[in-house]
Structure 1
Amino acid sequence: MLIDHDRHLDTYLDQDAAQRIGGLWALAASSPRSLVHLPMRGNRGPSRGLTEDGTRQLDLVLLHHSLQFAPARWKEVRARLGPGRQRTVMLPGRGPTGEAAIDHEARHYRENRDLFHQHLHAETLFMTGSAKVFRDTARHFFDVARNGPGYVPIHPSYPHFCTELHSNNGILGDAREIHIGYCDQWDS
């Protein structure tokens, strides 16, 4: 589930969804000619009442900036999409991953082009970025899949396992922060 709170975005995922989205994030990194569409708007929400008035659910599209896709064309493209079909893809082997492999200092230079940009059109959030920024941030989803199910709160103000893509990471160009939280209980 992806929720637009106007100033920030919240994503709530169970273990399977976090693993799948991490894989699709990695696909966006390794396949710059692909437009990855995740229809999430119709999904049921967390049972904890995390949605509120004034919020809306969104679909998600991941794409490499070199595609230069115009989000204003999305409604037309989405209308032509069929039901889709399952595909299996082989992603390149993982190179160095994790915090140690990321050059955090380089992210804060003016010349840094490895940034996410967001566009919102037709109830869909477009995350546009470079292969490097998709590759470096896929780990957030894998962390939620790996650590969310067994998480034991150590403090009442942190009731669930979560991570964020935020401006301090040096990865958000004209993009809003995204809170990625693990949730194992959903409305029926």
Structure 2
Amino acid sequence: MKLPLTIHQARLGAAEFKVIRPARPPERAVLSEGRWYLDAEVDQGAAQLIAGLWALAATSPRSLVHVPLRRDDPATGRPGLDLVLLHHSLQFAPSRWKELRAKLGAGRARTADLPGPTAFDPAVDHYPQERHHKENRDRFHTRVHTETLFLTGSATLFADTAWVFADVAHNGSGHVYAHPARRHYCVELDQGNGYFGSGSGLHVVYRDEWPDY
């Protein structure tokens, strides 16, 4: 999977940060705060792109992966959010994001060559029982600040969940075609299945009908 990117670097005080963005942000995707979940709605192309960026985040512990998504949800009118994927080890405070973002500039073009995350395999247990053990501290933590969702995790956690958007990209359109009366296709990650330690879970929905932006 070839992923066109822009790479940005900026300093905040003595620290230098690297920010990775898609060269072209997904056009048909929204992220917003719902009552129970952080709701992401995507078409096939957006799901494929975010799946690639998610996999890239797993191998980029020293970078922030920024996915510009901010637009109001056309179905609910809820305000939209951008998405930033980052590692616990980076110890980046979301309160500094607005200042960092203002310093990023145009960036430089780069193409990442990724193997691509695999879609959901029913033979693989993506919700293993050990994730529910109290000893398991490897969970996502979320914070919303300056109209941006910060999703903080580890390399293992990002790698183990890279299938989520890939599954929606692979199976969403086929489900809608085969079940026109039951068009809803989604994947969920939350505290109940052991992937989130704080904040709302993530509800990723395939959507094939979009307004013209």
- The 2-side partners of 1:148 and 1:110 are apart by 33
Q: 1:180 to 1:103 in 2, by over 3 A?
A: closer
Q: Name which of 56, 72, 86 aligns with 2:79.
A: 56
TM-score, normalised on structure 1?
0.85
CA-atom RMSD in angstroms: 2.4
Which residue of 2 is the match for residue 162 of structure 1?
186
- The 1-side partners of 2:114 and 2:68 are apart by 22
Residue 26 of structure 1 pairs with residue 55 of structure 2 = yes
- For structure 2, list consecutive stretches of 5 or more residues without a partner in the other structure: 1-29
Residue 86 of structure 1 pairs with residue 86 of structure 2 = no
Which residue of 2 is the match for residue 120 of structure 1?
144
Residue 134 of structure 1 pairs with residue 163 of structure 2 = no
- The 2-side partners of 1:51 and 1:29 are apart by 32
Higher strand share: 2
Q: 1:181 to 1:110 in 2, by over 3 A?
A: same
Query: Residues 30 and 92 of structure 1 are in contact (CA less than 8 Å); yes or no, is this contact kept in structure 2?
Result: no
Query: Residues 83 and 150 of structure 2 are in contact (CA less than 8 Å); yes or no, is this contact kept in structure 1?
Result: yes
- The 2-side partners of 1:85 and 1:56 are apart by 30
Letter of the structure 1 residue corresponding to residue 69 of structure 2: M
Which residue of 1 is the match for residue 44 of structure 2?
15
* Larger RCO, structures 1/2 (Cα 8 Å, 6+ apart): 1
Higher helix share: 1
Residue identity over aligned pairs, in percent, reads: 52
Q: 1:12 to 1:84 in 2, by over 3 A?
A: farther
TM-score, normalised on structure 2?
0.76
- The 2-side partners of 1:94 and 1:40 are apart by 21
Aligned residues: 180
